[in-house]
Amino acid sequence: MIEPTLQFIHCPDAQGGHRMAYWQWGDAQARHVLLCVHGLTRQGRDFDTLARVVLEAADHPMQVVCPDVVGRGQSDWLKDPQGYQIPFYAADMLVLLAHLRPFTLDWLGTSMGGLIGLALAGQPGLPADARVRRLVLNDVGPSIQWQALQRIGQYLGKVGVFATEQQAADALWAIASSFGPHTPQQWLELTRPQIKPLGDGSGRFTLRYDPALAEPFKAVTPESAAQGEVMLWQAYDQISAQTLLVRGAQSDLLSLQTAHAMTRRGPRARLLEFAGVGHAPTFVAPGQVQAVLSFLLR
What are the domain boundaries of the chain? 5-146+222-297
pLDDT tens for each residue of 12-36: 999 999 999 999 999 999 999 999 9
Residues of the chain with confidence (pLDDT) below 50: none
Q: Which residues lie closer than 8 Å to 174 by C-beta, 6 or more apart?
A: none
Residue 48 pLDDT: 98
HEC per residue, 41-108: CCCHHHHHHHHHHHHHHCCCCCEEEEEECCCECCCCCCCCHHHCCHHHHHHHHHHHHHHHCCCEEEEE
Q: Dump pLDDT digits (tens) for 138-175.
A: 999 999 999 999 999 999 999 999 999 999 999 999 99
Strands 32-37 and 104-110: parallel
Do residues 246 and 137 touch, judged by C-beta distance below 8 A? yes
Looking at residue 10, what is its pLDDT?
98
CB of 39 within 8 A of CB of 16? Answer: no
Phi/psi at 95 (5° precision): -60, -45
CATH code, 5-146+222-297: 3.40.50.1820
